[in-house]
Amino acid sequence: MPRTVTIDPVTRIEGHAKITIHLDDAGQVADARFHVTEFRGFEKFCEGRTFWEMPGITARICGICPVSHLMASAKAGDAILGVRIPPTAEKLRRLMNWAQIVQSHALSFFHLSGPDLLLGMESDPGQRNLMGLIARHPDIARNGIRLRHFGQEVIRILGGRSVHPAWTVPGGVREPLSPENRARIQEMLPEALAIVEQALELYQRLLPQFSEEVTVYGDFPSLFLGLVTPAGGLEHYDGLLRVMDGDGRILEEGLPPARYREIIGEAVEPWSYLKFPFYRPRAQEKGGRYQEGMYRVGPLARLNICDFAGTPRADEYLQAFRQLAPQGKPVTGSFHYHYARLIEILFSLEKIQETLADPEITDSHVRSKADVNQLVGVGVSEAPRGTLFHEYHVNEDGVLQRVNLIIATGQNNLAMNQTIAQIARHYVDGPSLRQGILNRLEHGIRLFDPCLSCSTHALGQMPLQVQLMGPDGTLLDELTRA
């Protein structure tokens, strides 16, 4: 008799969602789905506002990574103005974006996934949370807080506040960086660099304990998409779109980001508010099935598609990272998102250090001024979770007629669904469940560090309800974690 198991809500992610597991007549897992159960509607209610307002409005999409939306929105505004922003303004935007990556990745690794990695996937759920981590590993928990503080403090120094800074604007940024504030950031760097090096060593020591999880937590071939520099290096702010397949073949070498619609399509399903972006050429090759165009974005994808990182220590760890896959092949295990995240923190800190040493960084010319010169603007940057697209259509007065946002979490939607199905098929056998299995499924989602509501967040314990439903909707069993 077919049955459905529901996990609602999924905890220690940013936003609200549930998981359902569908069993076949034999009690084996037939399918699993990740449902996003909330609706934001920014694309629609921004219509009628001016593009000048969009950085401030869209930054409110997310309380954890508002900088990502600031960057993409301001870049779309740059395109509408038809200007090239001053070189110092671009460097300052990059500084804030790297700081954003540091604080967001630190939150994901240390505090959202750390309890699973350090206390055990099936440890006591009453202890498997941030407070339990602080009790058992106070130094590691404190390091996570210090590293996140670094990123937040850099954002605050540049933008005046750490959350929703109204600093990045079409044409550049509002304020330059003073020599005194440059020195303050430089003083904080040694501690941050030491912490991430310790975290990388910790991850390498922990990895052998998770050999089983590595093979069943989202390990499958897929496409990978992200930005690279014109020379093929790791990129988070600008550059060109590159797409790689599961065998390491480059399908798109360097597409200008404004032409993203040539390769990215969007599908919807009635059981989730999250869109399903896909790689259009591959779906067309496979008879129009959008699922065949599944690709992954974010730190794992970025490290797979780039030829090199571009900083000394990050390049050393990138070489070690690539040993996880056969020669010339991409790393396909989603469990290694954790590893990639730490390497990106190290890269970001090295780039911040390098950029602050540039004498031009304190130049006062940080904004280009113009009016509407283009009626369509596309802004693309790399958010911590992956590539972020903002596309604005305006009239001659700069009033928005149409808005399209493609966020990283949506682009990982197909891969997240496949990941929880793979985990469920490995650990679920019949209609009975253990608490630990529920956490394994949740961890499969946490690997992608999804940002669903982009505004509400919960660390640690939240109510968890699992229901086993018969085909007629009858409640057969129920498991609740208060």
- What residue numbers does the annotated binding site cover? 43, 62, 65, 405, 451, 454, 457
Question: How far is residue 79 CA from its own chain's centroid?
Answer: 24
Q: Which residues are annotated as a binding site for Ni(2+)?
A: 65, 451
Is the separation of the CB atoms in 482 and 463 below 8 Å?
Answer: yes
Is the separation of the CB atoms in 128 and 439 below 8 Å?
Answer: yes
Give 236-242 contacts, CB < 8 A, sequence gap 24+: 236/94, 236/97, 236/98, 236/101, 236/302, 236/348, 236/381, 236/382, 237/71, 237/90, 237/93, 237/94, 237/97, 237/381, 237/382, 238/75, 238/90, 238/381, 241/380, 241/387, 242/305, 242/306
Where are the alpha helices (H) located in 207-336, listed in sequence order?
A: 211-216, 280-285, 299-305, 312-322
Q: Which residues are annotated as a binding site for Mg(2+)?
A: 43, 62, 405, 457
Listing from the earlier edge strand, what are the strands of the sheet with 223-228?
Answer: 250-255, 240-244, 223-228, 295-296
Q: Which residues are annotated as a binding site for Fe cation?
A: 65, 454
Please name the residues in contact with 390: beta carbons below 8 A apart, sequence gap of 6 or more.
Answer: 54, 58, 69, 72, 73, 75, 76, 378, 379, 380, 403, 404, 405
CA–CA gap between residue 481 and residue 465 (Å, rounded): 6
As given in the structure block, the two tokens for residue 289 are 């099935």
